[in-house]
Structure 1
Amino acid sequence: MSLRDLQEDARARARNPVPGAASFAKFMNVLQVIADSPGTLDMAQITRRTRFPRGTVYRLVAALVAEGLVSQSGENGTFRLGPRLLQLAAKTWEDSDLRTIARDFLASLRDATDEAVHLAVPSNNRMVYIDKLVGSSTVQMKTSIGGQVEFHSTSVGKAWLSGLTDDRLEEIIKGLELTRHTANTLTSPEALREELKRIREQGFAFDDEENEPDIRCLGSPIFNRQREPVGAISVSMPVYRHDARRHELRARLVRETAIRITAELSRIP
């Protein structure tokens, strides 16, 4: 189908709405609100953010919970994405060219550092882990495939941001809530911009206990053949397993690994 055909089809659909499309849009709106703030919003807060009538929100959320697309915490009544949605997403990640290409390189990086390594991609102003390999130590990060982290407080997030054009970067920064997670978290746009300048110069990002205490991470961006950042990789370790010598070595390894993944990914038409 040509571009003109697609445009004509879109105009036709706009003139003749698909039955149920409005209801589907409401479901997606609620789902997006929950995805953007996982584990932090209760029913009243979701209602305020969607601006739908309370009865409508209750009905939509109940249906999402029944289908396993959303789950509710028994402790504080907040909501997050459910297991069924994560399972569906995982099927997409398993078929991802990026995940497939990166796996052997991630394994080599894990073997060289004996630390946890992650592959993450951007999604709705967050980074989502789509792969993780761990080292031999019993002390590891409590991260999982499908887990979401913020741009400004993580090495994968800052690495991905550093690869954006200036215009696109400003668009993203304007929409971020620079939440403080630790005493080291960057919480001002100015501080974040300065940090991203350093990352661009050195080729890697450093999370110095900015997302969670006692954890440090080094990350680098991955680009497609159009030189657009499509993801990032990281090496993560407890503070006690990080020093100046290891920092230099792991920074070089994560940067070189990202470059190799980028080179392989660039071969895909």
Structure 2
Amino acid sequence: MSARPAGTAAFSKFVHLLQLVADSDHPCTVPELVHLSGYPRATVYRTVAGLVAERLLATGLGGKTYVLGPRLIELASRSWDRSELRRVALDELVTLRDVTRETIHLAVPNDLNMVYIDKLESPKAVRMASRIGASVSLHSTAVGKAYLAALGEASCARIVSRLEFYRYTSNTVDSIEALQDQLRVIRQRGWSQDDEENEEGIRCFGAVIVDGGGQPVAAVSVSTLRFRQKPDPRQAYVAPLLAACAAISRRIGSVPGSAYRCPKDA
């Protein structure tokens, strides 16, 4: 077996500590990072100091806690800006936001989740708490269910069999059978719905983006608040959503060499 490249172990520690800080719902202290990582205190102090020096971490109030630093956020922003899919989709997403006047999400699959790679805020006063880079469940979201429904049966079954059916609200589907029932409806009508299944008071409508070979590569959702949902959501949200996804899919199919990958049936 070939030797690991020099510096790999140190780099892994840097990445692991960054991930712990990113996953935490509050600023982290060194003792917390020692506990969570299992690294010696001296190693954590040294690694954190290096991350702070490179602006990948920043100190919180009082100088004893740590949060993600400005350089990391800048790098992440550039990554999203350079995303080919995001660039291809942006004009249609802007039009969709302007037509519906609601929040638009663009999401891509990542194992058993969907990850938001773009978000266009509603111009209305009350906005969503979601953010670019956030992971959301496949079974409880419009983007997740749209993606699952567009997969081949074998690929879909493999993924669904691995899901943990966490209930975010009283409306969340909590079994394979219930999800499969929803997916059959989605396949028939061509769009998905999250009826307050991921968050109370939020309703979303989703549709899939496909590549030139007809394989699903991403999904788009229109998210609205229950109290301001328009009386005819199919006309107000679903029709422009389907038009936007169809246009983006055509653009992807027309880009030479664009090869977005997703699971295919064996």
Under TM normalisation by the shorter chain, which class is it?
0.7 to 0.9
Q: Aligned to 1:155, which of 120, 132, 142?
A: 142
Counterpart position of 2:158: 171
Aligned-partner Cα distance in 2 for 1:33–1:248: 44
Residue aligning to 1:196: 183
Secondary structure, aligned partner of 1:15:
coil
Give the counterpart of 2:126 among 139, 150, 161: 139
Q: Is 1:109 the equivalent of 2:96?
A: yes
Q: How far 1:207 moved relative to its partner?
A: 0.7
Match of 1:180 among 163, 167, 175: 167
The residue that corresponds to 1:260 in the other structure is 247
Q: Which residue of 2 aligns with 1:5?
A: none
TM-score, normalising length from structure 2? 0.76
Distance 1:100 1:192 in 2: 32
Task: Give RMSD over aligned pairs.
Answer: 3.5
Aligned to 1:39: 25
Identity of aligned residues (%): 36
C-alpha distance in structure 1 between counterparts of 2:149 and 2:202, whole Å: 21
The amino acid of 2:144's aligned partner reads: G
Within 5 Å, give how 1:235-250 maps onto structure 2.
235-250=222-237
TM-score by length of structure 1 reads 0.76
Could you report, residue by residue, the CA deviation over 1:4-58 in whole angstroms, capped at 9, with x for unpaired residues?
Answer: xxxxxxxxxx5232112244345555666777x6639x899988997x5675995
In structure 2, list runs of 5 or more residues that go unmatched: 258-266
> Structure 2 residue aligned with 1:122, among 99, 103, 109?
109
CA contact (8 A) 1:94 1:100 kept: yes
CA distance in 2, matches of 1:141, 1:181: 16
Structure 2 vs 1, CA of residues 227 and 242 (structure 1 numbering), >3 Å: closer, same or farther? same
**Separation in 2, partners of 1:149, 1:175:** 15
Residues 189 and 254 of structure 1: is their aligned pair in 2 closer, same or farther, counting only changes over 3 Å?
A: same
CA gap 1:68/1:257 in 2 versus in 1, 3 angstroms: same
Contact 1:120–1:129 (8 Å) recurs in 2:
yes
**Letter of the 1:112 counterpart:** V
Matches within 5 A, 1:14-93: 15-25=2-12, 27-28=14-15, 39=25, 62=48, 66=52, 84-93=71-80
Structure 1 gap ranges (5+) = 1-13
Following TM superposition, by how much is the alpha carbon of 1:164 offset from its aligned partner in structure 2, in angstroms? 2.2
* Distance verdict in 2 for CA 1:34–1:252, change over 3 Å: farther
2:262 corresponds in structure 1 to none
Superposed CA offset, 1:98-146 (max 9, x none)? 1111111111111211111121222353322222223331122122323
